[in-house]
Amino acid sequence: MATISEKILLEHLTDGQKLPEAGTEISIKIDQTLTQDATGTMAYLEFEALGIPKVKTELSVSYVDHNMLQTDFKNADDHDYLKSVAAKYGVLYSRPGNGICHQVHLERFAAPGKTLLGSDSHTPTAGGVGSLAIGAGGLDIALAMGGASFVLNMPKIVGVKLIGELQPWVSAKDVILELLRMLTVKGGVGKIFEYVGPGVKSLSVPERATITNMGAELGATSSIFPSDKKTLEYLKNQGRESEWKEMKADSKSDFSETIELDLSKIEPNVAKPHMPDQVCKVSEIEGQKVNQVIVGSCTNSSYYDLMVVAAALKGKKVHQDISFCILPGSRQVYETLARNGALADLISSGARILESACGPCIGMGIAPRSGAVTVRTFNRNFKGRCGTADAGAYLVSPETAAAIAISGIFTDPRKLGDAPKIPKPKLVIDDSMILKPPEDGSEVEIIRGPNIAPLPDLRPVEDTIEKEVLLKTGDNVTTDQIMPAGAKVLPLRSNIPAISEHVFISVDPEFPKRAKEKKGGFIIGGENYGQGSSREHAAIAPLYLGVKVVIVKNFARIHKANLVNWGIVPLEFEQATDYDKINQGDILVIENLRAGIKSGKVKITNKTKNAHFNVLCDLGEQSKDVLLAGGNIMYVKHNTSAK
């Protein structure tokens, strides 16, 4: 008896024949990988460093969807690097304009029962078709492409039982926002959410994918739906019915815990600034003025999402005070809407149509005016992520976004009248913008622009460290705060010396300068440190600045793994109250650190305050070995030379 997640994990175990208890380290085989250009450039540089002639996965795809704003040579150069390195090593290449990685992968490649590892935290989108999809740092992706197992802690499997059906104008986005309201951004840490119950049958695959996509905001390892007749119907529309197989949990009693949601009782929801779990009903803030509305992102840019918006706006005009933008999630969606007339309805309404890309979701253009209220169908609304520091970003469904675009104020979409009936899509299936690599790529020349710089020096963990506390942060620090995105910073993704100048600048503009003057040091943090994006630059750039150790109350999963991958020691307070006894500028001393990492407990002296406290190194044995070696590149090189 097992859940879907357990069945897939068990089938892919590379060490042992049964699943251990939750929290114990496991290793699994990865079938598919995906990268996107903001994280992929570094992932392929890392893959090159491994010296492996060709990828060993069943399928690996390199997408270009994040850094599409070509204000100078940097992004264009890196696109050519990604194209050439994909051809050389046997990776499919999805060209700029083909669409957002998660939307395209769901349409063309995700399959029930497969494991997918992606260098983007929203990789679990593929759970909408019953794939066990996990976000990770770029180095983990590089290792998986090289045939290595992926190491993670065995998650708890939480069953989310869905009953009833959604009301008209209420959508899957409202479902996941309701879960965020209930559980918060920390509620999914160390867990996989598996959706069960009679309500599942009422949700299409794109609706399911919206829910699994935003499971990342719960901090979950992954989220997954059964593979059923709805899944078969979706794959058949994509011409991929041969990849379907039924997958369902054996028994409700197999879950470590169960949450029940009645879909019929969910109302249109909105996440208020500046966190996805600050959720209330749209009706509670109805009437408040809005300046900007954007529909798109990997969460809500499917055929169904945009057709609902087009139907709501048909024959109407966008309110004169609203700047309204649409981002189709893929070229397939874009062209299908163009051919069926929906795109014309959107244009006629006054919508601005952007290319199929992430764009404003990661701060790449379309920033709102100062002090604006911007309403988005995206997955994150962290402060400043939209590109305007003093704007307030709200997260809503496409239905709610359409209602606001028409009225100019927060409006419950149920006031729009009868809900439209969306016809089944006559999809335009054309994979000509996904380039296949040659059988033998050994003669392919890799194109390297001047923006690509060497990786920082990697060394084994030192046994004694005496350094200053460079920064003390609070709870829920995001990777956006550690390593900002946006049009100014993201083009530097392959240039670590340059991008390191932006570490923590939204928290403390003097941090990069101080870190260099002090030749590195410690960072102290609170709960859920490193939540959000999978970007490993939030580990690599601090490493370049000399950050040796990060001590927090607890970590977000992907960021903790990225710290280990790059040889930064992640430690957690044994007593949470010790956090309050440390100030920025204190000198901390650690002796016998290597032995402490192995034992799982490290003693630290606060030299400034003449005090002592203990911290925990909560890692599995292999992760400890990786950390002690100075990160995964050093670990692999050491093991290769030893053999």
What positions carry a catalytic annotation? 65-66, 120, 380, 533, 535
CA distance 284 to 270: 9
Closest by CA position to 135, among listed 39, 239, 228: 39
How many other β-carbons are positioned within 10 Å of the β-carbon of residue 253?
9
**Alpha-carbon torsion 248, 254, 259, 260, what sign?**
positive
Tokens of 322: 């609203």
The two three-digit tokens of residue 51, written as one number: 């010296």
Q: Are 218 and 180 in contact (CB under 8 A)?
A: yes
Give the residues across from 534 on adjacent strands: none
C-alpha torsion sign, points 282, 374, 119, 81: positive
Task: Residue 505: count other Cβ atoms within 10 Å of its Cβ.
Answer: 15
Query: What phi, psi does 588 have (nearest 5°)?
Result: -110, 145
Are 602 and 624 in contact, with CB atoms under 8 Å apart?
A: no
Distance of CA 498 to the CA centre of its chain: 23
Looking at residue 314, its amino acid is K
Helix (H, G, I), strand (E, B) or coil at 493: coil
CA distance between the termini of the chain:
40
Instruction: Write the DSSP symbol of residue 273.
Output: T
Assigned token pair, 493: 């993704």
Q: Residues of 76-91 as b/e, b for ≥16 C-beta within 10 angstroms?
A: ebbbebbbbbbbbbbb
Alpha-helical (H) ranges within 323-377 are: 331-340, 342-349
Nearest residue to 222 (alpha-carbon basis) of 129, 304, 296, 295 = 129
Structure tokens at 213: 């996509």
DSSP characters over 69-82 = --SSHHHHHHHHHH
CA triplet 258, 260, 263: central angle to 5 degrees? Answer: 150
| Per-residue DSSP letter, 573 | E
- The pair of three-digit structure tokens given for residue 204, joined into one six-digit string: 């299409």
User: What three-state secondary structure class fits 56?
Assistant: coil
Torsion of CA 233, 238, 241, 243, to 10 degrees: -120
CA-based nearest residue to 303, from 285, 283, 329? 329
Contacting residues for 308 by C-beta, under 8 A, at least 6 apart: 171, 398, 399, 402, 420, 422
**Which tokens is 52 given?**
């492996």
